[in-house]
Structure 1
Amino acid sequence: MSYRWTTKNLDDLEQFYYTEVEPALQADGLDSATERPTYTWMVEHGFSGFIKALRRDHGLTPTEFYDRIDVGTTEAEDEYWGIEHDLVRNLLSSYIDELLNRRGHPETTVYPLRSRLKKYVQVYAEVNETADFVAPLRDEAERPAEIDRALAVFDILNEVLGTPASKFKYLEDTRRFYKHLIRSGHALYNPLAEMEKRFGWDRPEWDNPALTRDQIQALYAAAETPEERFIVVGLAGWGIRPSELCALHTRQLVLAPVDDDHPYIRFTDGERKNGPGTVSLLAGLDNLKARIDALADDSEWNGYLFPSSTATAGHLTTGTLRRWFADIAVRADVTVAGSAPTPKLCRRFWYSLYGEVVRDLAEQFEPIAADQGSTSADVVLSNYLSEAERRSHRRAAMDSTLSTLFVEG
């Protein structure tokens, strides 16, 4: 599959490394904590454009980029920060540890955040001639001076970061860390509380296009095999991530639940970006059952819904799924904002549709709210319906809508 490298800034490339390159390394049995991909490996796995984009658009060699995001190293966490202050290093490291282990955030989300925090604290130490930004946070009288010290850091970041989105990522990540310090009793205030106003920054309009219902129908109609139709159903009908669909296994499927009205997928620790949970199967059950029946005829089937005899993990890689999805989109003549859609736009479609369902449901309860003298339908939904009842209404509405999308012509 081809990527639009010219549209990607360094933050985009960093995120791409963690979400695409690193999983591919691991699938090949390489230790991404200690090994960096070679040029030959990148070319063989379809990432040559990544290397070219680094050099052409950002003037970086691969080594310089890997140094920048601190991958392929095994240094201790407290040595990672590159500052001379034990307490500050410990607080930073414990925050990262909490995100990873207590809150269960994935490495692909936490490590880019960690990289931005490192940049912030190193610039802070350089411009303020001290790495200790914690002590002033314990003294309310220090608030004006500390805001100025933080402002001096963002004076530099404002110059070196290219896009409004990059600046807000740094601001929001560091601001969350300060909030963590307040919650944990190490700070009385947040010096970044209104930092964007000091620079006159407008919050960037995040570009999150989604596919339409007609486009989802077109994709499903253009799918030529049961396998391709199953891809469209899994991405757009269930709203799961490409990586989750690739790794979907029969052990995760609860098709005859005693604790629910709908079959669902059960994700356990490590199987999903946002931790354990369930996803209701409100569409495509026939596709799913047909897929299982077809695979069950193979005596060596390993239980994955997209098995692979060549991939180390035993299942299809996200790169291959993206290529298949791209082929479907070409046949369907579907584009979004002038470009070929990616699988994640199916997930955005699902969430966009879910938002519509929730809003429509609230409107349906407006007359009841008026009869009860309630200020809004939200009051009725929250106070007079159980969570199970609210969930049942949402599912019924989603089921009704999704059932019209995955129909073979």
Structure 2
Amino acid sequence: MAEADCVAFLRETVVPEMRADPDCERRPDAEPPTYRWLNGRYPGFVKHLQREFDASPADFYREHVLDGADDDGYDWGLPEGEAAERTRERLDAHLDELRYRGHPETTIRPYRARLKKYVRLYCDLHGPDLLDGLRDESRRAEEIDRAFTVSKVLDRTLQTPAARRKYVEDVRRFYRELVDAGYIAYNPMRRMETRLGLDVPEWDNPSLSEDDVAELWRATADRRERLLVVGLCGWGLRPSELAALHVRQVVLDPDEDDYPYLDFRDGDRKNGPGTVSMLAGADVLDARLDAVAERDGWTGYVFPSATADAGHVHVDTLRRWFAALVERTGVTVRGEAPTPKYGRRFWYSLYGEAVVDVAERFTPVAEAQGSADASVVLENYLSEADRRMHLRTVMSDSLSGLFA
């Protein structure tokens, strides 16, 4: 459940139960349910709030249900005065525009609560006029530092990297839309993740190394195993996506001068529709399709199964294949046998190296433009298509060497 889903669950399920239960002892429009009452009915929900949002049920309820109960004349916690009123008008107008676009209240309320926390902190630290300095380019450095100061306070009060990034993203969105509408000249949150260190993952997920992948590749005995290694390590697919891969998703001969790719439709992937470029190993998939297409009753799956109801092998079968290959090679990561997800992590680590490689190529250009950071050139002087082309070229070179 995402944050908006949790809010909807409280409003649509928990609140009616609180009203109907004589043992609740709490009025839902005035105070949150007791921990004992809510945990007794929905212990998984309580744990989810604590684990995913670092919030106690009471705090989450107060912020998202009680704080957003009255949409008319919402209290942003701003002081009195003309400067505060100008800020309040922009905040209210921004939310009205989101409603006009069709955003539901279950999405707007938690978003509004995060904006409110930022705005109140800003007012406490710097005064009530959130926008005046953002209209004056000469005050850019000062205002960016002010936003950074507020963000640092938020950063210390939020417990997870995901929650910290969410606040930065939401506040940046508010400022970005004011820039687009012409109310302010620049966005002080533009590169705030970098200043806060949020663009560097705090977790440590081990992955296969290039030597590990090369060893697995050399040990493959047939087309099936070769496709297993290429799909996980060369395309970064999830094990479930590879197990369910279908010929309808395969584009080996794209219309334009482009790499072959996999076309995932809505419902095919955890994060929705999209494409995955096969920067190396497309010939492995082509050979596998030639082999399975000759089977009687083939239904189009790359890893077909005559016994499974889905028509393709179960993801656990794919994991067993991978485990057998790992055991045969003796590859370990930190003393343990890697699983298929280690291959997907390898792809992401290789992509990160490609980003650094491309940025370093443009260091002379950055210096010529007077920029201390080559990433500024990548963001401001290259089109999205050019950035993508450079990254894919570097990735293709690295992967092609592994899967030769």
Q: Which category of TM-score, normalised to the shorter sequence, fits these structures?
A: 0.5 to 0.7
Give the aligned partner of residue 117 of structure 2. Answer: 189
> Structure 2: which amino acid aligns with 1:138?
D
Cα 1:395–1:131 change in 2 (3 A) is closer
Equivalent runs, 1:83-232 vs 2, <5 Å: 83-84=18-19, 85=28, 113=48, 122-124=57-59, 132=66, 134=68, 138=75, 140=77, 181=109, 183-184=111-112, 188-189=116-117, 197=156, 205-232=202-229
**CA-CA distance at 1:246 after TM superposition:** 0.7
Give the aligned partner of residue 237 of structure 1. Answer: 234
**CA-CA distance at 1:133 after TM superposition:** 5.2
**CA-CA distance at 1:378 after TM superposition:** 2.0
Q: Extract unaligned runs of 5+ from structure 1.
A: 1-13, 15-74, 90-109, 143-176
Q: Among 288, 310, 334, which residue is 2:331 paired with?
A: 334
> Structure 2: which amino acid aligns with 1:389?
D
**CA-CA distance at 1:252 after TM superposition:** 0.7
Measured against aligned partners, the alpha-carbon deviations of 1:315-339 in whole angstroms (never above 9, x if no partner) come to 1111111111111111111111211
Does the alignment pair 1:317 with 2:314?
Answer: yes
Contact 1:138 1:186 in 2 (8 A): no
Give the aligned partner of residue 78 of structure 1. Answer: 12
Contact 1:122 1:131 in 2 (8 A): no
Contact 2:264 2:274 in 1 (8 A): yes
Q: Extract unaligned runs of 5+ from structure 2.
A: 2-8, 20-27, 33-44, 80-104, 122-150, 162-197
Q: Among 264, 283, 287, which residue is 1:286 paired with?
A: 283
Give the aligned partner of residue 247 of structure 2. Answer: 250
Contact 2:54 2:158 in 1 (8 A): no
Contact 2:46 2:57 in 1 (8 A): no
Give the aligned partner of residue 101 of structure 2. Answer: none
Q: Among 388, 391, 399, which residue is 2:388 paired with?
A: 391
Contact 1:265 1:278 in 2 (8 A): yes
- Identity fraction in percent: 46
Q: Which has the larger radius of gyration?
A: 2
Greater Cα shift, 178-187 or 353-362: 178-187
**SS of aligned partner of 1:391:** helix
Cα 1:315–1:87 change in 2 (3 A) is farther
Length-normalised TM-score, structure 1: 0.58
> Structure 2: which amino acid aligns with 1:78?
E
Equivalent runs, 1:258-277 vs 2, <5 Å: 258-259=255-256, 261-277=258-274
Cα distance in 2 for partners of 1:396, 1:117 equals: 37
Cα distance in 1 for partners of 2:226, 2:47 equals: 34
Cα 1:361–1:76 change in 2 (3 A) is closer
Higher RCO (Cα < 8 Å, 6 or more apart): 1
> Structure 2: which amino acid aligns with 1:189?
K
Cα 1:200–1:374 change in 2 (3 A) is closer
Contact 2:54 2:159 in 1 (8 A): no
Cα 1:383–1:205 change in 2 (3 A) is closer
RMSD between superposed Cα atoms in Å: 4.2
> Structure 2: which amino acid aligns with 1:393?
H
Cα distance in 1 for partners of 2:316, 2:345 equals: 19
Cα distance in 1 for partners of 2:288, 2:378 equals: 38
Cα distance in 1 for partners of 2:53, 2:364 equals: 53
> Structure 1: which amino acid aligns with 2:294?
D
Contact 2:49 2:55 in 1 (8 A): no
Cα distance in 1 for partners of 2:336, 2:324 equals: 13
Cα 1:377–1:119 change in 2 (3 A) is closer
Contact 1:252 1:266 in 2 (8 A): yes
Contact 2:235 2:276 in 1 (8 A): yes
> Structure 1: which amino acid aligns with 2:77?
E
Contact 1:138 1:187 in 2 (8 A): no
Give the aligned partner of residue 359 of structure 2. Answer: 362
Contact 1:249 1:305 in 2 (8 A): yes
Does the alignment pair 1:406 with 2:403?
Answer: yes
Length-normalised TM-score, structure 2: 0.58
Measured against aligned partners, the alpha-carbon deviations of 1:276-334 in whole angstroms (never above 9, x if no partner) come to 11100011112111101001111311101011111121111111111111111111111
Cα 1:331–1:120 change in 2 (3 A) is same
Cα distance in 1 for partners of 2:160, 2:49 equals: 23
**CA-CA distance at 1:188 after TM superposition:** 2.3
Contact 2:263 2:274 in 1 (8 A): yes
* Number of matched pairs: 279
